[in-house]
Chain A
Amino acid sequence: MIELKNVSKIYNYGTPKAVVALEDVNLYIGKGELVLLMGPSGSGKSTLLSLIAALTRPTKGIVKVENKIVSKLPDHFAALYRREWIGFIFQRFNLIEELSVLENVLLPLVPTPLSIARSEERGWEIMERFAIEHKAHTQVSKLSGGERQRVAIARSLVLDPPIILADEPTANLDSTLAQQFLLLLEKLHEQGKTIVVATHDPRFESLHVDRIAKVEEGHVFYT
């Protein structure tokens, strides 16, 4: 389903400040698999997720999703690809602080042809699923870390994407909330979602994962 072929990513390429984030990476992730990308900070895990989500382009190599090259998509189609295929849970949540919970959850639905009523219905459904409906009209900046994470997850799933990418999802959570998140991932995995988690949290190793890939200094190895 997801395939990276000879992928390298060099930031500030061609300048004296060039930084190699990934080098000649080959990786395959099958449909419905739960894959962990484990490695220390700065090893290239987040960059790998960004490449899969077409948030950035590789300096070399190609990224394919469902046999389609997504790494060379023009901006317009890259956005449509993300909308249709990707649910991204960011490490720092990347919520819009001054908007309410409901507004944040609805953000991915705004440019879609879905009606206002249907969009809101979908928003409420997903908020109920993550038990944040009672905070629907609360400004995100007033939420606790755990609540913010639930908003971020709800937002990433509101369009029901087949691929979920999570970047250090437990980094800002206490152990109870982290445990709840792990259970959620298992549930999503059971529903057939393809899940890629970048983490260096050893608690993830207790999950029933399909594969664990080690990311070290820009190289990726399956263990």
Chain B
Amino acid sequence: MNLKMLAFALSFLRRRLWKNLAVFFVFWALIFLVSSAFLIAASIKKELFATLEELPQIFVQRTIAGRLLPSPVARIEKIEQIEGVEAAYGRVWGYYYFPAAGVNFSIVGLDMDMAGFTPWMDEILASGKEGMVVGEGVKRVLLSHYYKEYFNFITPSGDFLKVPLVGAFPAHTELESSDTILLPMQTARKIFGMPQDQVSDITVRVNNPKEIATIAAKIRVLYPDSRVLTRFDINAAYQNVFDYKSGLFLALMLGAFFAFFILVFEKMSSVGKEERREIAILKALGWRIGDVLRLKFLESSLIAIFAYGLGVVGAYFFVYSMQAPLLRNLFTGFSVLKPRFELIPVLDIGLLLSIFFATVPLYLAATIVPTWRSSVIDPEEALR
């Protein structure tokens, strides 16, 4: 690289300091906002889909006219007899409305003999404490209503059911567990008034993950009134939610993009009289068109690359150090109880390259094209 040219590019940038700083700031802000949004989305997706990997492979729900109904326990045994099914479990779960806070809790009843949850869950079960384990969101709501050690559920018969609070989920799981309460299945039955021969739905584990779709189809044949969901269906549903939210955010970002494109268009469509004169002076002094373009390319590159670099670094700091105040709410509003969770750092080279190629070359072209158009004019014409 011609270091003299680089030194002169810096001198030329210094001359119109405020104008160049304004361009730099717009560019930086665009990169910062877009990178922040994509980093938050990537981080949430990473956490969510990592958790979804731990979900049961197949869910079987009973429906009548599209309405969910409890499933008979007898179906569990029948499903277990399908070839390729390793095990089937009945679950008791549902929503519990807490009117004082105006929120719904998701209650999941657990078979206390069934191990193999996450290590922290197994630890609570092994401690022998009978009670409920709650998500951070539930814990916050209960504390704000002075329920520190227990909570009184109201059963369908109108009686109080006092359940001790024995633990809370670790903070890193909060995205998917914020509004969740785990408690013994028998307790859940009492809260929902569900008889012993029924379960809310059935989960199925298969021997060979490649057979998930086939076994799901067999269950549909066996119980035509059932809705059979696989882990992939749930993944797709979450994917849709996040794509929808990312799309919403991008729609909001259109304003920023619009400002950027106006800047680019303004640069593309015109070179000021003063700049034209300068190009003519340089040519009169023996600069070739290529030399002039090289100078302008270096000037623009310095602005664009620094704005891009600082925008990305700023976004990483904003998202992962500051935990993206304000912006993350756009992506996490899907739960009734707003989850608090740590955004896990993600280094997605593809994403960073996409943002780079969508902005930097565009800006460079916007500078080079009008410079080239001015460079091909006779210097005398521009100097007259």
Contacts and interface: CB of A to CB of B under 8 A. Distances in A.
Interface string B115-127: 0000000000000
A119 B284 CA distance: 19
A111 B282 CA distance: 10
B376 A108 contact: no
Contacts of A159: 286
Contacts of B2: 110-111
A155 interface: yes
A109 B295 CA distance: 13
A56 B378 contact: yes
A99 B289 CA distance: 21
Contacts of B380: 47, 50, 55-56
B383 A79 contact: no
B383 A94 contact: yes
Contacts of A94: 277, 281, 284, 383
Contacts of A88: 284-285
Given A110-B291, A111-B5, A119-B4, A56 B381 contact: yes
Interface string B282-321: 1111111111000100000000000000000000000000
Interface stretch (B7-15, B68-76, B216-224, B265-273): B7-15
A137 to B, nearest CB: 11
B379 interface: yes
Most interface-central of A75, A79, A108 (chain B CB within 10 A): A79
B378 A55 contact: yes
A219 interface: no
Given A56-B380, A94-B383, A103-B11, A79 B283 contact: yes
A149 to B, nearest CB: 16
A80 interface: yes
A75 B2 CA distance: 21
B288 A75 contact: yes
B281 A96 contact: yes
A99 B11 contact: yes
Nearest to A53: B284
A82 B285 contact: yes
Interface in B1-36: 2-5, 7-8, 11-12, 14-16
A190 interface: no
A55 B284 contact: yes
A90 B379 CA distance: 13
Contacts of A79: 283, 286-289, 291
A83 interface: yes
B278 interface: yes
Contacts of B5: 110-111
Given A50-B380, A55-B380, A108 B286 contact: yes
Nearest to B383: A94
A111 B379 contact: no
Given A96-B281, A98-B15, A99-B15, A111 B286 contact: yes
Most interface-central of B2, B15, B284, B290 (chain A CB within 10 A): B284
Given A55-B379, A56-B378, A57-B378, A80 B285 contact: no
A29 interface: no
B308 to A, nearest CB: 26
Interface string B351-384: 0000000000000000000000000101111010
Given A56-B380, A56-B381, A103-B11, A116 B286 contact: no
A107 interface: yes
B383 A76 contact: no
Contacts of B277: 94
Contacts of A57: 378
B17 to A, nearest CB: 9
B378 to A, nearest CB: 5
B285 A107 contact: yes
A130 to B, nearest CB: 17
Interface string A199-211: 0000000000000
Most interface-central of B283, B295, B380 (chain A CB within 10 A): B380
Contacts of A82: 283-286
Contacts of B15: 96, 98-99
B8 A96 contact: no
B284 A80 contact: no
A195 B53 CA distance: 84
Interface string A101-139: 001001111110000100100000000000000000000
Contacts of B282: 107
Contacts of B7: 116
B291 A111 contact: yes
A53 B383 CA distance: 13
A110 B8 contact: yes
A191 B3 CA distance: 33
Nearest to B12: A99
Nearest to B8: A110
A96 B287 CA distance: 15
Contacts of A109: 4
B289 A103 contact: no
Per CB-CB distance, the 3 closest pairs between chain A and chain B, nearest first, are A83-B286, A98-B15, A56-B380
6 contacts: A55-B383, A82-B284, A103-B8, A103-B11, A111-B291, A119-B4
Interface of A: 47, 50, 53, 55-57, 75-76, 79-80, 82-84, 86, 88, 90, 94-96, 98-100, 103, 106-111, 116, 119, 155, 159
